[in-house]
Amino acid sequence: MDRKMEPIDIEKLIPHRGAMKLIETVVEVREKGAVTLSVAKTDWPLSDGETVHPLVLIELAAQTSAVSIGWKDLQEGKGFNTQGFLVGIKRARFPGERIRVGSRIITDAAVVFEMENYTEILGTSRIDGEKAGEGPIAEITLQVVRTGQGEES
């Protein structure tokens, strides 16, 4: 199921709208993950107009995870996901400073553990175009419980 993405309406994959829809482009989707591109904007949450607080990268990891889940549901003919998700932050590391508005952020979200309706996802964000080897600007482990999974509607 790994594949480079043709342009797709992101709103078919995630419920986020307006300023809360942080993803601009789906770069890649895999069986158990996705890669997205976002550009930090002044209207993003936690923006002071010039920079964005790195805590917003938690939301980028969550939205990138939702892209993978939404794509899988779409491919299986399930349509837009109406089941709920409870998301916790198991671990988050932000080695850098605030992010400059206009920075291009590549986020990779990959499933690292699954059991029944519980999943752990590792989200890693990097600034696009920065020198290789500078490392990620965030590493976030999310805990996701998909409610309603396995229940009849």
What's the number of domains the chain is made of? 1
Give the range of the structural domain holding residue 82, as residue numbers without chain letter.
3-146
Distance between CA atoms of residues 23 and 20, nearest Å: 9
105 Cβ neighbours under 8 A, 6+ residues apart: 37, 38, 39, 40, 57, 60, 99, 125, 126, 127, 128, 137
Domain for residue 56, yes or no? yes
Domain for residue 152, yes or no? no
Domain for residue 31, yes or no? yes
Domain for residue 151, yes or no? no
Residue 11: which CATH number? 3.10.129.10
Q: From first to last of the 153 residues of the chain, give the pLDDT tens digit.
A: 444 545 666 666 666 556 677 988 889 988 899 999 999 999 999 999 999 999 999 999 998 988 877 767 666 676 655 555 778 999 999 998 899 999 999 999 999 999 988 989 999 999 997 655 578 999 999 998 877 644 443
Domain for residue 51, yes or no? yes
